[in-house]
Amino acid sequence: MMSILLILVVILSVVVLSKWLICIILYPIIALAALGNREADGSLKKFLCFPLKVVEHFLRYGGTRFVIFNISYIPSCHFRKLLYKGLGVKMGKNVTIHFRAELRAPEKLSLGDGAIIGDNAILDARRGLTIGRNVNLSSNVSIYTLQHDHRDPYFGLPSEDKLKLSVEIDDRAWLGANVIVLPGVHIGEGAVCCAGCVVTKDVEPFAVVAGIPARKVNERPHNLKYEFKGKSCRFY
C-alpha cells in the first residue's frame, strides 16, 4: 500500500514540476515577443517575435495561454503582477488582479492606478483594452475586443479598418459579476454595469445600465472620490 502511494506521489510531483518547467522555458520567449510588439518595428520586431512564432507553430498557439493560465494560479497577487508586467501589461500603482484571470495579448492591455480585476475575468486585449483608474471588475467579467463575423461566408474576423474594436473603460466604472462587454464599447467615467448584463454599445458617464442588451435604468452620483489602495491579501 505504501509503495503504491509513493508511486502516486512521485507521478504527481513529476507532472507538477513538468508544468512549471515548461512555463519557465516559455516565459522569456513570450516576454521577448511582447517587448518586440510593444517597442520595436520592422526587422527588429520580427527578430524578437520569431522564437515565439516557432513555438506557437508547434503548439498551435497554446503556449502563451498555457503560461498565462498557470500564472493566474500563483498564490501571490504581487508575484502575479510582476510576471504580467514582464509580459507587457501596462500597469499603474495599487492594481489588484485576483485568481484565474485570463489575459489575451497582455502587451495591449493597460490598467490604471487602483484597478481591481476579479476572479475568472477574461480580458481580451487583442485589439486594445484600456481600463482606467479605480475601476472595479467583479468576478467572471468578460471583455472582448475581437469576435467572429457571423455574416462572413468564412466565419472570419472583422476588419479593424471598417470597425472600431478596442474597448475603453474610464475611471471609477464598476462592472458587476458576469458582465460581458463586446468589442468597440466605451464605458464612461463612474458608470455601473449591473450583474449579468451584456454591454453592446457605449455607456455614458455615471449611467447605471442593466439587462440584455444593457440599457440605462438609473444614474450614479457624480461626486465620486474613492480610490482603491490595492491592499489585497499577500497570498491571494
Question: pLDDT (tens digit, 9 = 90+) per residue, 108-138?
Answer: 999 999 999 999 999 999 999 999 999 999 9
Q: What percent of the chain has pLDDT over 70?
A: 96
- Which part of the chain has CATH 2.160.10.10? 79-230
Among 54-58, 100-104, 207-211, the least confident range:
54-58
> Model-level pTM?
0.88
Q: For the domain bounded by 79-230, which CATH number is listed?
A: 2.160.10.10
- Say if CB 50 and CB 42 are below 8 A apart: no
The 10s digit of each residue's pLDDT in 51-65 is: 888 888 777 778 888
In contact, 150 and 169? CB cutoff 8 Å: no
The C-alpha cell of 184 is what? Answer: 468597440
Mean local confidence (pLDDT), 14-21: 81
State residue 160's pLDDT score: 67
* Cis peptide leading into residue 205 (ω within 30°): no
Q: Residue 233: its pLDDT value, please?
A: 60
Q: List, by residue number, the catalytic residues.
A: 148
Give the mean pLDDT of 37-61.
82
